Amino acid sequence: MPNVTELDHPLLRHKLALLRDKTTTTGMFRQVAREVSLLMAYEVTRDLKLEPIQIETPLETMQAEHLAGKKLCIVSILRAGNGILDGMLDLIPSARVGHIGLYRDPTTLRPVEYYLKLPNDIADRLVILVDPMLATGHSAMAAASRLKQAGVKAMKFVCLLAAPEGVAAFTEAHPDVPVFTGAIDRQLDSHGYIRPGLGDAGDRFYGTR
């Protein structure tokens, strides 16, 4: 699928199996999700631009490289997005962080924004939008639209698992936003869960039910 990357690193696939397993405890789930998120941050930042920099090693002067261009901002879709924020920040500690909260209006079934906090300079940053589950795609699509409205010009979307239906809807609505996922599962069920999936990501992260 164009603009969709299903990550295939063996460590990531191994850890995803642990996340899917219903016997994985809340503490373990959190820890493994943090590790998976770090690996996903590594993959999603693969094309960041570098520029030369002259440094002094203890022995001599050399031309090294450091990151150039746009600074990063990770935007978490509440609440489950927060579960993958920490792992990403482990790898990119200087990234700014934004939050967006959306709930589904019971009548229209459309996402309604209830919280938004973004860095002032978000328009100048590369945004990594995170939500563990790309199910119907409605929240991710609404969040991406809201970020574009705030001036964001460069964005990537990262999730642990995706449903084919969510991938299709998101890429149609935002063909300019590359999607990175740990796996594209079989289908969305009639309750909006990804199958086989991992259950409710928020509940698994926070031990709620």
Report, as residue numbers or ranges, the catalytic residues.
104, 108, 200, 203
Q: Is 88 in the site for ligand URA (CB under 6 A)?
A: no
Tell me which stretch binds ligand URA (CB under 6 A): 47-55, 87-95, 106-114, 190-198. Answer: 190-198
Can you name the residues that pair with 96 across neighbouring β-strands? 73
Question: Token pair for residue 118?
Answer: 């973004």
Query: Of 127, 133, 152, 183, which lies in the binding site for ligand URA, with binding defined by CB under 6 A?
Result: 133
Which of 129, 138, 122 is CA-nearest to residue 180? 129
Tell me which stretch binds ligand URA (CB under 6 A): 3-11, 82-90, 102-110, 198-206. Answer: 198-206
Q: Is 162 in the site for ligand URA (CB under 6 A)?
A: no
Q: Is 194 in the site for ligand URA (CB under 6 A)?
A: yes
- Check the CA dihedral 143-145-151-155 and report its sign: positive
Give the integer Cα–Cα distance in Å for 45 and 125.
13
Give the integer Cα–Cα distance in Å for 141 and 160.
16
Please say whether the beta carbons of 131 and 163 come within 8 A: no
Give the integer Cα–Cα distance in Å for 137 and 57.
48
Q: Which is nearer to ligand URA, 124 or 165 (CB)?
A: 165
Q: Is 140 in the site for ligand URA (CB under 6 A)?
A: no
Query: Of 83, 87, 101, 197, which lies in the binding site for ligand URA, with binding defined by CB under 6 A?
Result: 197
Q: Is 193 in the site for ligand URA (CB under 6 A)?
A: yes
User: Which residues of the chain form contacts with ligand URA (CB under 6 A)?
Assistant: 80, 133, 135, 192-194, 197, 200-202
